[in-house]
Amino acid sequence: MKYLRFILKSLLRSKRRTLLILSTITLSVFLVTILQALLTTLDAVSNNPNSSNRIVVRHKSGLTQMLPMSYLAYLKQQPEVETATYMQWFGGQYKDPSNFFANFASDETTLFDVFREEFGTSGVTEEQIKDYIRDGSGCIVGKSLADKFGWKVGDVIPLQGTIFPVSPRLTVKVIFKGMKPSQENVLHFHYKLLEESVPRIKGRVGTFFLRVHNADQIPRLSARIDNHYANSSAETLSETENAFNLSFVKMLGNISTIIQGITAAVLVAILIVTAGTMSIAIRERTTEIAVLRALGFRTGLVLGLLLGEGMLLVGAGGVFGVGLAALAAGGIRKGVGTSVPFLEDFSLTPSTMLLCLGITFVVGLLSTFIPAYQATRRPITEGLRSIG
């Protein structure tokens, strides 16, 4: 610690240069941290442990096609299936198109059984569930969605249909708290209400969700279901719920490769900028370094001081960048999460922050070591003759 004052004075010798490089590193690390947090968030969408024992059965041609409701009887008969439910994306609007949130017409009697992890921690009572099942115009909403619009139990929510020519008025019967914020940005109402209002879809539904006894049974069961309906008028595509969710992430493109490519480019930029800055700063002090060595300072100590200077500069930029990203995470959740629901779970995990800080320090070490090593290996006499 006794050399810290010396390192700080060296850094502040050119305050403008230090401030500029510190700002550059801070912004670069901020960008890298946000990108890595985004990657972690997207990865969690397709790696939800609560979804590992659930299968989604949908039309092979795509989500715009519906399956016969009669398929449900066959699906429930399979020995691997514990329980099953069905739902249809409604896509209704609340007052304004900008008020986007997921809303489904679902089977009110089995929804809570299939998704019991999501509803089980919300404090929903059996009486509330029974009340919702009894009321054909009732609906259930997540807490974050209710808080956003100020809904309370008993409030009437008018939805304007965009896919189906129906605009139901729904009464809030249950407000549930999910395990993650993104699970609370959803509304479910009775499928019978939609079916009765739109006769053309009677006896058909968009997707089936199956809960199996053991996740190891999923591949065999999925193959059996798809083989059973092969060459029928409505062929099926059965996949895990995680794979189903991943298909929506893939609509954004190969986001993982894009993010890693941008991250690599930013890190190379930090390396070049920091190495250039430290080279200039060390070159300006050639004589000073030679004097220190002439006074008896060991080469290793001088090298350590120079490395400490670079590491302190890059480290400060890394801490500021990660801190700035942590502050921005809340804004991203509120701003972008309204239009991209899974980004409501956006956050900086400790592992992401440690990873970004670790990478920053490695870049700082690499960018400082070469000019510092060259300066300490230069002959003392040559350094004393230099004009620094």
Summarised one tens digit per residue, pLDDT across range 114-139 is: 988 777 655 678 888 889 999 999 99
Q: How far is CA 342 from CA 106, 328, 362, in A?
A: 20, 17, 32
Residues 272 and 365 in one domain: yes
Beta bridge partners, 211, equal: 54, 83
Average pLDDT of the segment spanning 78-93: 92
User: Given pLDDT bands bounded at 50, 70 and 90, which one contains residue 225?
Assistant: very high
What distance in Å separates the CA atoms of residue 290 and residue 307, rounded to the nearest whole number? 16
Residues 79 and 164 in one domain: yes
Question: Which residue is it, tokens 């996740």?
Answer: 215
Sign of the dihedral through C-alpha 252, 63, 52, 105: positive
Average pLDDT of the segment spanning 274-286: 71
- State which of 194, 213, 232 marks the end of a domain: 213
Residues 191 and 284 in one domain: no
pLDDT reported for residue 128: 87
Top-ranked range on mean pLDDT: pick from 176-180, 189-193, 265-269, 377-381? 189-193
Burial of 343 (0-12, 13-18, 19+ CB in 10 A): buried
Report the side by side order of strands in the sheet with 156-158.
156-158, 169-176, 138-142, 186-190, 102-106, 81-89, 207-212, 54-59, 236-240
Residue numbers of the domain that contains 322:
4-46+253-385
> What is the count of structural domains for the chain?
2
Residue 227 lies inside a defined structural domain of this protein = no
Residues 163 and 122 in one domain: yes
What distance in Å separates the CA atoms of residue 21 and residue 29, rounded to the nearest whole number? 12
Residues 303 and 343 in one domain: yes
pLDDT reported for residue 207: 95
Q: End-to-end CA distance of the chain, in Å?
A: 27
The pLDDT tens digits for 176-189 are 887 777 778 889 99
Average pLDDT, the chain: 81
Residues 177 and 294 in one domain: no
